[in-house]
Chains A and B, each alone.
Chain A
């Protein structure tokens, strides 16, 4: 879906460094989500937001932080507290209504130098 843009596609982090992953959508969706994808483990929810200026922790929020200051933007910061940050990160959005699927971005692959 061209409506969700994640950047950068590849990101490298040094030990002890915070990095921010960008996610922008122009679908006018209320809800946005961040997932972590590791081989063989499917999609695990990090944080989600159902409305501007509000967000909730998902299943694996430790070591991550988010903000939702604008409807179209939901950046994810991977902090130095996240001890195993190497993964593929997917951002998604939906209308937030019942019976509606999520639309995904192309993902960001984060690696530790």
Chain B
């Protein structure tokens, strides 16, 4: 089955700096890669996603890149703000719609 590894497990940055979270996957059949943000005590929510036929996608301060050959994808957050502090999960989906999640990255943005 699919295996997703996510790094780092914790990340601390100063407000205004950039943050990068990296994930690798094992199943070349995975074709959809969503990223979720989970604030403390709340449900995970989709923040951005990318399909396997796209190399990069951007939405304001958030971007995701995908290297299908190397089987890795990354989340980039620029100009970080304290409200970006949360746990971020990457996931890899196959055609069946089933997601395999990474273990999560706890991002702390220091004001």
Contact = CB atoms under 8 A, between A and B. Distances in A.
A110 to B, nearest CB: 15
A106 B43 contact: yes
Nearest to B100: A45
A99 B32 contact: yes
A59 B99 CA distance: 12
B14 interface: no
Contacts, number: 61
B34 A101 contact: yes
B67 interface: no
Contact of B98 (A48, A101, A106): A48
B89 A43 contact: yes
A107 B43 contact: yes
Nearest to A88: B41
A59 B3 CA distance: 11
Contact of A101 (B46, B96, B100): B46
B71 to A, nearest CB: 18
Chain A interface SS verdict (over half): loop
B104 A42 contact: yes
B97 A98 contact: yes
A98 B98 contact: no
B91 to A, nearest CB: 8
A42 B100 CA distance: 10
B97 A96 contact: yes
Interface of B: 1, 6, 9, 31-32, 34, 36, 42-46, 49, 51, 89, 93, 95-104
26 contacts: A1-B45, A33-B99, A35-B101, A40-B9, A40-B103, A41-B103, A42-B101, A42-B103, A50-B96, A90-B43, A90-B44, A94-B97, A96-B97, A98-B93, A98-B97, A99-B49, A99-B93, A100-B32, A101-B34, A101-B49, A102-B34, A102-B46, A103-B46, A105-B43, A106-B42, A107-B43
